[in-house]
Amino acid sequence: MEYDVAFVGLGYVGLSTAVCFADRGINVLGVDIDSKKINRIKNADSPIHERYMNELLEKAIKKNRLSLSRKVADVTKAKIIFLTVGTPSRKNGSIDLKYIEQASKDIAIAIKDIEEYFVIVIKSTVVPGTALKIIDNLEKHSRKKNSIHFGVIVNPEFLQEGSAINDTLRPDKIVVGVNSEKDKKIIYKLFKKIYRKNLPIVYTTPSNAELIKYANNSLLATKISFMNYISRIAERIPDGDVNEIKYAIGMDKRISESFLNAGLGFGGSCFPKDVKALIAFSKELGVNSEILQSVLAINDTQFMSVFNILNKELGQLERKRISILGLAFKPETDDIRDATSIKIIKRLLDKKAKVRVYDPIANNNMKRIFGSSITYAKDSESCIRNSDCCIIVTEWKEFKMLKPKDFIRLMKRPLIIDGRRIFSKKQFNKLEYHAIGLG
Ligand code: UDX
């Protein structure tokens, strides 16, 4: 075999995992049907913005550990094939399996006449029962038998954008949904080379592995919406402060302090999509999802806290200059998928406000949505200059460098809405400082 492992789909998960595997000395083949993407990767020019990505990519290409192809049929040159294609949302929230179905059909046709035993690893996020469908699809198109000629494993991904490389190399857990001892041995051998001594593998069935991914993300989203709900209560109490609540309850080991930050709601490519998909899947099973429906409802309306404050402080927003610091759905990424900034800008434009925005790396992505209807600043100082209000939407480190005197000096009116609690009220007591979850 020419390669140890192949990846079908070089999006966030596929590419991050591929370069990390290559870094551990594994010979990797990356397949994607997008030729532009393939060309960029070949030139060690990462299509995604991720810390350490360019270095690892360059190293992998130079050392010949990562080869690229546009043809799924090439996966037969590897014995372990990871499926890392997207599973986008349909209108009703359920996931669309068309890419994974197409990829598995292409793999089946490719392996049809080859004697070798292949292991197909589903890394894409899929609802329980999908692996069984993929097995049917593979058997149908390859005329081979599961467990005899090939095996299927479910290995969901838990990496976070912004820390994808680190999360991939040092995961909290590695979930392996597997039914056969043979496949277990094959994947263990590979994972031992990659994760070395840190090998927190949880073996389970494929369907449980599929559900683990949804339960994991939905519980994290629930923690966030729960804290946003508490923040709404704290905001209505004169000396209420959601951060004090967070600190104290986070000390309870059963709760833990992570993912308890109240803010303007969660965004990104995973949480909103995965919560919706679990709701849609539960419905098929006749299970009510009141809890997750509330998680989404809170998230959808959380940004309105900003408008409650604007309404009180500025009244009519027509021609008011509003500056927005942070556009990405979270820091350390230029990803604006489902970002709260979009909802806020849309509403500000509806109210005829003048909007100026700044993000260290996501300005260009936002231009594709709002074009010339808003203005884009080249740094935070020029963004807040002469504005009537500044809203902090993403907690980039560089915004924390701004001092109260900068806001006073630069803004027309030093009115600040801290949507991510990056400043302290004490430090900003000379300004009109408002924050999520602060009474
Ligand atoms: C998430 C999961 O964490 C990851 O395990 C999975 O593989 C993909 O989805 P990601 O989308 O990269 O990762 O971002 P994450 O860091 O989880 O943040 C998601 C959203 O929640 C962001 O908008 C963030 O601002 C928000 N968030 C996070 C909060 O509002 N409060 C918190 O305490 C934590």
pLDDT tens, per residue, the chain with 439 residues: 799 999 999 999 999 999 999 999 999 999 999 999 999 999 999 999 999 999 999 999 999 999 999 999 999 999 999 999 999 999 999 999 999 999 999 999 999 999 999 999 999 999 999 999 999 999 999 999 999 999 999 999 999 999 999 999 999 999 999 999 999 999 999 999 999 888 999 999 999 999 999 999 999 999 999 999 999 999 999 999 999 999 999 999 999 999 999 999 999 999 999 999 999 999 999 999 999 999 999 999 999 999 999 999 999 999 999 999 999 999 999 999 999 999 999 999 999 999 999 999 999 999 999 999 999 999 999 999 999 999 999 999 999 999 999 999 999 999 999 999 999 999 998 899 999 999 9
Q: In this structure, is residue 220 part of a structural domain?
A: no
Choice from 13, 160, 217 to test ligand 1 binding pocket (greatest atom count within 8 A of CB): 160
Give burial (CB, 10 Å; 0-12/13-18/19+) of 251. exposed
Beta-bridged to residue 8, according to DSSP, are 31, 83
Using CB distances shorter than 6 Å, the residues near ligand 1 are 157-161, 217, 220, 224, 259-261, 263, 266-268, 270-271, 329-330
Q: In this structure, is residue 160 part of a structural domain?
A: yes
Q: In this structure, is residue 80 part of a structural domain?
A: yes
At 353, list the tokens.
């406000």
pLDDT of 427 reads 92
CATH number of the domain where residue 259 is located: 3.40.50.720
Determine contact, residues 402/410, Cβ cutoff 8 Å.
no
Alpha-carbon gap, residue 70 to 73, rounded angstroms: 9
Kind of pairing between the strands at 321-325 and 354-358? parallel
Q: How far is ligand 1, taken at its centre, from the CA of residue 93, in Å?
A: 19
Number of domains in the chain: 2
> Would residue 20 show up in a list of annotated catalytic residues for this protein?
no
Q: In this structure, is residue 40 part of a structural domain?
A: yes
- Quick one: 267 and 415 in the same domain? yes
pLDDT of 70 reads 97
Q: Which helix (H) or strand (E) holds 325?
A: strand 321-325
Q: In this structure, is residue 199 part of a structural domain?
A: yes
- Quick one: 74 and 122 in the same domain? yes
- Quick one: 170 and 234 in the same domain? no
Residue reference for tokens 């130079």: 62
Q: In this structure, is residue 212 part of a structural domain?
A: no
pLDDT of 308 reads 96
Beta strands of 187-240 (E only): which ranges? 201-204
- Quick one: 194 and 291 in the same domain? no
Q: In this structure, is residue 95 part of a structural domain?
A: yes
User: How far is C-alpha 5 from the geometric centre of its chain's CA atoms?
Assistant: 24
- Quick one: 36 and 174 in the same domain? yes
Choice from 123, 270, 298, 396 to test ligand 1 binding pocket (greatest atom count within 8 A of CB): 270
Q: How far is ligand 1, taken at its centre, from the CA of residue 122, in Å?
A: 22
Alpha-carbon gap, residue 131 to 121, rounded angstroms: 9
Judged by DSSP in three states, 27 sits in coil
Q: What is the pTM of this model?
A: 0.96
Exposed e or buried b per residue across 372-410, where buried means at least 16 C-beta atoms within 10 angstroms of its C-beta: eebebbeebeebbeebbbbbbbbbbeebeebebeebeeb
Choice from 271, 336, 344, 392 to test ligand 1 binding pocket (greatest atom count within 8 A of CB): 271
pLDDT of 376 reads 98
Domain boundary at 204, 220, 253, which? 204
Alpha-carbon gap, residue 329 to 393, rounded angstroms: 9
Q: Which range marks the domain in which residue 110 is found?
A: 3-204
- Quick one: 185 and 319 in the same domain? no
Q: Which of 20, 270, 383, 390 is catalytic?
A: 270
Alpha-carbon gap, residue 69 to 110, rounded angstroms: 14
Q: How far is ligand 1, taken at its centre, from the CA of residue 52, in Å?
A: 20
Q: How far is ligand 1, taken at its centre, from the CA of residue 160, in Å?
A: 7
- Quick one: 131 and 258 in the same domain? no
- Quick one: 188 and 319 in the same domain? no
The end-to-end CA distance of the chain, in Å, is 64
- Quick one: 184 and 239 in the same domain? no
- Give, to the nearest 10 degrees, the angle between helix 130-142 and helix 206-235: 140
Alpha-carbon gap, residue 127 to 283, rounded angstroms: 12
Judged by DSSP in three states, 83 sits in strand
- Quick one: 412 and 358 in the same domain? yes
- Quick one: 200 and 233 in the same domain? no
Alpha-carbon gap, residue 87 to 127, rounded angstroms: 10
If you take atom 14 of ligand 1, which residue's CA is the nearest one?
Answer: 160
- Quick one: 177 and 318 in the same domain? no
If you take atom 25 of ligand 1, which residue's CA is the nearest one?
Answer: 330
Give burial (CB, 10 Å; 0-12/13-18/19+) of 138. buried
- CA 159 to ligand 1: nearest atom: 7
pLDDT of 403 reads 96
Strand order in 432-435's β-sheet? 375-376, 354-358, 321-325, 389-392, 415-418, 432-435
Kind of pairing between the strands at 415-418 and 389-392? parallel
Q: In this structure, is residue 191 part of a structural domain?
A: yes
Judged by DSSP in three states, 201 sits in strand
